[in-house]
Amino acid sequence: MTTLSGPIPQFGKPQTLAFADPFAAMAQLQRYADDLKYVMHEKESALKQIEKAHLHSLTVLARAAEYRDDDTGVHMDRVGGFSGLLAKLIGRSDEEAKMLSLVAPMHDIGKIAIPDSVLKKPGEYTLAERAIMNNHAVIGAEIIGESDIPLFAMAAQVALTHHENWDGSGYPFGIAGTQIAWCGRVVAIIDFFDALTMHRVYRKAFSDERALEMMKIQRGRKFDPEMLDVFIEHLDEFVRMREQINSSSKNR
C-alpha cells in the first residue's frame, strides 16, 4: 500500500495516511465507464428515433407532393429503388446506395409549394411559370433543411441538384460536371427515364427504346456520360426492378 509520512500539526508527531485501495478505485472507475456507456447508448437511441421520425415526416410530405403530379405515387418508389441500384453499379458503397434509395424519393418534395395551375399545366410554360416551376429545387432543399446527419445532407443535395446539367445548362445554379453532387447526377438520370416511361395526364408513356434514344442525345449535355453508359448497359436490371415495384404497388 502507498503511504505518505509527514508531521501532523495537531498531534506534533509523524502519522501515516493511506491512499484508497487501488482495486476499489478501479471498480469505481469501471462503474463510471459503464454509466457513461449507458448514457451514450440512450442518447444514441434517442437520436436515431428523432432521425427516423424526421425521415418519416419528410417521406410523407414528399409523397403528398408526388400525389399531386402522379395519382399512384409509385414514381417515388421506382426512383428510390432505381437510384440505389445505379449507385451500386457505379461503385458507390453499400451504405451510400442504401442512403440514396431512402432520400431519392424526396427529389421533388419542393413541388408541394408549386400551384396546380403551373404543376399540372399540359402545355409549355411561360417564362414566369418556368421560373416558378424551377424554384421547386431550392424550395425542396429548404424544406429538408441543413443537417450534419449524412442522410439528410444527401437528401438536400438531391433536391437541390437533380435538375443541374452536366454541361452547366441546368438549374438552379448552372453548375457543371463533377461540381454537381454525384447523388444529384444519379437521380437526374433515373428521374428522367422513369418520368418518360410513365403515363401522365397530358401524354402517354414513351417506350423504353424511345426514352433511351432521347437520353442518348443528352449524353454529356444533360447527363453524366459515364453514369448514363452504366445505366444503359444494365437497363434489363432496372426493367426487372420496375416490374417488381409496380406489382408490389398493386397489392397494397
Find the mean pLDDT for residues 138-160. Answer: 93
Which of 31-45, 148-162, 185-199 bottoms out in mean pLDDT, i.e. has the lowest? 31-45
Q: How far is CA 16 from CA 10, 22, 23, 24, 84, in A?
A: 14, 17, 20, 20, 71
Which domains does the chain carry? 20-250 (1.10.3210.10)
Q: Hey, which residues are catalytic here?
A: 111
For the entire predicted model, the pTM comes to 0.78
Helix ranges, the chain (H):
22-69, 74-89, 94-103, 116-119, 127-134, 136-144, 150-161, 182-196, 208-217, 225-233, 235-250
Which of 44-53, 151-160, 191-200 bottoms out in mean pLDDT, i.e. has the lowest? 44-53
Q: Which residue has the higher pLDDT, 94 or 13?
A: 94
Instruction: Return the C-alpha cell found at 27.
Output: 471498480
Mean pLDDT of the chain: 85
- pLDDT tens sequence across 176-210: 999 999 999 999 999 999 999 988 766 788 999 99
Backbone angles phi, psi at 193, to 5 degrees: -60, -50
Q: What pLDDT is attached to residue 5?
A: 46
Q: What band does 45 get if pLDDT is binned at 50, 70 and 90?
A: low
